[in-house]
């Protein structure tokens, strides 16, 4: 029996009353799983907020007991990427981005090219190159945020902006949320930054950039070994409780989902035992009936997945967009409320696995009974 | 089809019921056999075992000189497809399928019937049973007698050598009963081995052999 024949049989059963109930139930289960996984996504983002910021890779030291030899020693410590004079960031009004609110951006020196991942365009190559967020809001967010003022990557690449009479070119865009930057923060090269803002350079402090946040402890130990003790570091205590709660909720939801799905497939199967009995009388093998059954359930759940994903996407965005108090947190990258498509697909995968297990087990349980039992069951 | 010393014991929680007791018989092609007996005497059990839809406790069954006792479930399925057509009192038609689609259902697993031929074959079977006007009807739109004839057509889908019917006229009036018996008789005349379980005395006009079964024992 080939796929075409199977589909022919399924086509006639897919609009069975039982399937309508099954589809409705699956719809709500999908929505529930989408919500919990989106919650998990937000929880992870918030919990890792401090850890993901670029500043968490920095160790700042006082320059007092400092010498050229020590600089060499520091450079040789494992995990140290670079040493620089301490530089903070600076903000400017940029008339190219004037709209309802004045154009306004923050500029930071790019200490390590690996800090950012280029989405559109290229990384900084020339003196007056600049990199901006791929979702760019070049305004001060202390005023009302206007959604129409958001700029997308492809709209800003190659655009020129004038800062302090210097013409910069935006050569690329990066994902600001990933490193928890504000959506108005752009990068220029270290040297350009120094030239542009001599007053923002603090010569009494040095910034040591470490490759990964978790390696800072090791570097600090090495620094103490070479008598550098005036270390300024912000200790990060990631609070994982939100993540644990969301994992717990996800597991509960999956568990309940499985129980519901199992029961509905069982009901449907019991309702159709006569049909399956007659198929067996006609000579159908158990595995053939299983294939029919699983194919039907997969088709139903796929249709349901598509419908519920679209529904979720629309309703979720409607809700998020209507809560204006969230705008500021989104601007500062403190929360991330974007739908994670990987998790949406993961929901589908969970569902497929659950349906497969339930169908396989129930088919095994019922189809191995005698055919007379299948036919007599009402 | 030959059965020798077949016994069937149903085990329930508390006790055992001996539904068939050392039944032996040889069924030959081209004949219509009627199995008669009181309710609970083991008729359904016997015909289910003959139709390979119920297991038996001991004894030997051969179909086409092939011993089936050692066959696995999948091989039994193949035998059912090739050799056996089964008709039930309750028809068991698929309510979502039209009459001809119900008849096509068993053909889907038969590699010898090409896809294009299926519909044509199903329609021919239904026409032979006088249902040419009912081909596109759903079971709900058919009378009991018509449903039973659709079920008979379905049992003939893969051209089996053996036709089994367990009280096929139990839900039908006399007129339809006659029609069904005539149909079965015709099939026997065409060389098939037809075995019918029934209460109806009417069958005596049609049957070649009457088998009486009492408390699981067969009396010829
Ligand atoms: N699944 C079963 N479990 C236990 N006992 C059964 C089962 N099926 C039938 N029996 C018993 O076997 C005997 C024969 O039943 P059956 O073959 O259905 O009789 P008939 O069809 O002649 O009325 C009866 O006593 C019945 O109670
Ligand atoms: Mg009976």
* Nearest ligand, CA B38: 1
Q: Which residue, A233, A251, A278, sits at the end of a domain?
A: A233
DSSP string, A13-50: HTT-HHHHHHHHHHHHHHHHHHHHHHHHHHHHHHHTHH
Q: Which of A184-188, A217-221, A232-236, A331-335 has the highest mean pLDDT?
A: A184-188
Residue B158 with chain A: CB contacts under 8 Å: 282-283
Mean pLDDT of A104-112: 93
Mean pLDDT of A253-259: 95
Q: How much is the pLDDT for A212?
A: 87
A206 & A84 share domain: yes
Q: Which of B45, B74, B109 to mutate to test the interface with A (most CBs of A within 10 A)?
A: B109
Mean pLDDT of B140-160: 92
Instruction: Identify the bridge partners of residue B10 per DSSP, sorted by sequence position.
Output: B17
Q: How much is the pLDDT for A233?
A: 77
**CA A80, CA A83: separation in Å to the nearest integer?**
8
Closest to B19 in 3D by CA, of B68, B70, B52, B58: B58
- The gap between the terminal CA atoms of chain B, to the nearest Å, is 17
Mean pLDDT of A125-146: 90
> Could B78 and A1 be called an inter-chain contact, meaning their C-beta atoms sit closer than 8 Å?
no
**CA A209, CA A226: separation in Å to the nearest integer?**
17
pLDDT digits (tens, 9 = 90+) for B114-134: 989 999 999 999 998 888 899
What CATH number does residue B119 fall under? 3.40.50.300
Domain with A209, as residue range(s), is 53-233
How many domains does the structure of chain B reveal? 1
Domain with B80, as residue range(s), is 2-219
A310 & A206 share domain: no
Mean pLDDT of A302-328: 92
A69 & A172 share domain: yes
Residue B82 with chain A: CB contacts under 8 Å: 283
Is pTM beyond 0.95 here?
A: no
Strands B16-26 and B2-11: antiparallel
> Could B86 and A281 be called an inter-chain contact, meaning their C-beta atoms sit closer than 8 Å?
yes
**CA A82, CA A62: separation in Å to the nearest integer?**
16
Q: How much is the pLDDT for A138?
A: 93
Which residue lies with its CA nearest to atom 24 of ligand 1?
B40
- Angle subtended at Cα A297 by Cα A355 and Cα A307, rounded to the nearest 5 degrees: 95
Q: How much is the pLDDT for A277?
A: 92
Residue A277 with chain B: CB contacts under 8 Å: 92
Other beta carbons less than 10 A from residue A329's beta carbon = 14
| Cβ within 8 Å of residue A178, ≥6 positions away | A52, A117
Find the closest chain A residue to B114 by CA distance. A1
Mean pLDDT of A284-306: 94
- Angle subtended at Cα A151 by Cα A150 and Cα A155, rounded to the nearest 5 degrees: 165
Helix, strand, coil distribution of chain A in percent, nearest 5? 55, 20, 25
Q: Is residue B219 exposed (0-12), middle (13-18) or buried (19+ Cβ within 10 Å)?
A: exposed
**CA A30, CA A315: separation in Å to the nearest integer?**
14
* Torsion, CA A217, CA A219, CA A224, CA A225, rounded to 10: 120
**CA A204, CA A223: separation in Å to the nearest integer?**
18
Q: How much is the pLDDT for A378?
A: 62
Structure tokens at A376: 């007599």
Q: Which residue, A204, A233, A262, sits at the end of a domain?
A: A233
Q: How much is the pLDDT for A65?
A: 67
Structure tokens at A115: 């800090």
Q: Which residue, A198, A233, A268, sits at the end of a domain?
A: A233
Residue A8 with chain B: CB contacts under 8 Å: 108
A209 & A249 share domain: no
- For residue B78, the Cα-to-chain-centroid distance in whole angstroms is 16
A258 & A357 share domain: yes
Distance, CA A114 to ligand 2 centroid (Å)? 80
How many domains does the structure of chain A reveal? 2
What share of chain A has pLDDT > 70, as a percent? 99
**CA A256, CA A33: separation in Å to the nearest integer?**
11
A295 & A209 share domain: no
- Helical (H) or strand (E) element with A374: helix A371-376
The answer to whether A140 touches A104, Cβ cutoff 8 Å, is: yes
The answer to whether A42 touches A337, Cβ cutoff 8 Å, is: yes
A25 & A85 share domain: no
* Torsion, CA A346, CA A351, CA A353, CA A354, rounded to 10: 140
A108 & A212 share domain: yes
pLDDT digits (tens, 9 = 90+) for B92-120: 999 899 999 999 999 999 999 998 999 99
Ligand 1, CB within 6 Å, residue ranges: B 10, 12, 17, 19, 37, 39-45
A212 & A75 share domain: yes
Shortest Cα distance, chain B CAs vs residue A368, angstroms:
9
Structure tokens at A105: 């951006």
Q: Which of A276, A278, A370 to mutate to test the interface with B (most CBs of B within 10 A)?
A: A278
* Torsion, CA A100, CA A106, CA A107, CA A111, rounded to 10: -140
- Per-residue confidence band for B58, with pLDDT thresholds at 50, 70 and 90: confident
Helices (H), A272-285: 273-281
**What's A141's DSSP letter?**
T
- Angle subtended at Cα B81 by Cα B79 and Cα B83, rounded to the nearest 5 degrees: 60
> Could B54 and A370 be called an inter-chain contact, meaning their C-beta atoms sit closer than 8 Å?
yes
DSSP string, chain B: -EEEEEEEEEE-SS-EEEEEEEEEEE--TT-EEEEE--TTSSHHHHHHHHTTSS--SEEEEEETTEE-TT--HHHHHHHHHHHEEEE-TT----TTS-HHHHHHGGGGG-TTS-HHHHHHHHHHHHHHTT-GGGTT--GGGS-HHHHHHHHHHHHTTT--SEEEEESTTTTS-HHHHHHHHHHHHHHHHTT-EEEEE---GGGGGT-SEEEEEETTEEE-
> Could B94 and A280 be called an inter-chain contact, meaning their C-beta atoms sit closer than 8 Å?
no
**CA A362, CA B23: separation in Å to the nearest integer?**
36
Distance, CA B30 to ligand 2 centroid (Å)? 24
| Cβ within 8 Å of residue B121, ≥6 positions away | B104, B107, B113, B157
3-state secondary structure of A118: strand
* Torsion, CA A151, CA A155, CA A158, CA A163, rounded to 10: -30
Structure tokens at B151: 């079920």
């Amino acid at each position: 029996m080939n796929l075409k024949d199977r589909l022919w049989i399924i086509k006639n059963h897919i609009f069975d009353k039982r399937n309508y109930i099954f589809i409705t139930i699956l719809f709500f289960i999908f929505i529930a799983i989408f919500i919990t996984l989106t919650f998990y996504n937000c929880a992870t983002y918030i919990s890792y907020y401090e850890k993901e910021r670029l500043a968490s890779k920095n160790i700042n030291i006082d320059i007092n007991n400092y010498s050229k030899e020590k600089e060499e020693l520091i450079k040789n410590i494992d995990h140290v990427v670079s040493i620089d004079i301490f530089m903070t960031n600076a903000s400017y009004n940029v008339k190219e981005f004037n709209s309802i609110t004045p154009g306004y951006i923050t500029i930071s020196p790019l200490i390590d090219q690996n800090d950012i991942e280029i989405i559109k365009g290229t990384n900084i190559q020339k003196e007056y190159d600049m990199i901006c967020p791929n979702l760019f809001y070049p305004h001060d967010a202390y005023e009302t945020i206007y959604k129409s003022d958001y700029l997308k990557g492809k709209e800003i690449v190659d655009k020129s902006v004038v800062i302090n009479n210097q013409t910069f070119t935006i050569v690329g865009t990066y994902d600001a949320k990933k490193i928890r930057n504000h959506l108005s923060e752009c990068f220029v090269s270290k040297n350009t930054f120094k030239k542009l803002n001599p007053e923002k350079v603090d010569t009494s402090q040095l910034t040591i950039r470490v490759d990964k946040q978790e390696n800072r402890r090791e570097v600090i130990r090495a620094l103490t070994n070479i008598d550098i003790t005036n270390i300024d570091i912000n200790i990060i205590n990631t609070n994982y409780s939100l993540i644990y709660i969301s994992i717990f909720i996800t597991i509960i939801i999956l568990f309940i989902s499985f129980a519901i799905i199992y029961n509905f497939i069982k009901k449907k199967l019991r309702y159709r035992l006569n049909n399956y009995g007659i198929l067996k009388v006609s000579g159908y093998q158990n595995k053939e009936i299983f294939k029919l059954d699983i194919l039907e359930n997969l088709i139903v759940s796929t249709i349901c997945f598509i419908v519920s994903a679209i529904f979720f996407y629309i309703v979720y965005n409607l809700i998020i967009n209507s809560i204006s108090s969230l705008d500021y947190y989104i601007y500062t990258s403190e929360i991330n409320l974007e739908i994670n498509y990987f998790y949406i697909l993961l929901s589908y995968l969970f569902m497929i696995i659950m349906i497969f297990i339930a169908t396989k087990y129930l088919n095994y349980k019922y189809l191995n009974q005698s055919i007379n039992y299948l036919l007599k069951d009402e | 089809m030959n059965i020798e010393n077949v016994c069937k014991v149903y085990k329930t929680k508390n006790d055992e019921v001996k539904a068939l007791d050392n039944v032996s018989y040889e069924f030959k092609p081209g004949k219509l056999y009627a199995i008669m007996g009181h309710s609970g005497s083991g008729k359904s059990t016997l015909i289910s075992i003959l139709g390979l839809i119920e297991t038996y406790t001991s004894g030997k069954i051969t179909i086409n000189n092939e011993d089936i006792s050692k066959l696995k479930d999948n091989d039994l399925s193949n035998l059912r497809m090739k050799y056996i057509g089964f008709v039930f009192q309750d028809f068991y038609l698929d309510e979502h399928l039209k009459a001809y689609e119900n008849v096509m259902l068993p053909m889907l697993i038969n590699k010898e019937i090409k896809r294009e031929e299926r519909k044509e074959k199903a329609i021919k079977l239904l026409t032979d049973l006088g249902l040419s006007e009912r081909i596109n009807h759903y079971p709900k739109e058919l009378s009991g007698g018509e449903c039973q004839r659709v079920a008979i057509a379905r049992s003939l889908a893969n051209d089996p050598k053996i036709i089994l019917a367990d009280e096929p006229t139990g839900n039908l009036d006399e007129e339809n009963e006659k029609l069904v018996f005539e149909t079965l008789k015709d099939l026997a005349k065409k060389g098939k081995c037809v075995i019918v379980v029934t209460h109806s005395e009417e069958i005596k006009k049609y049957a070649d052999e009457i088998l009486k079964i009492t408390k699981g024992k067969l009396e010829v």
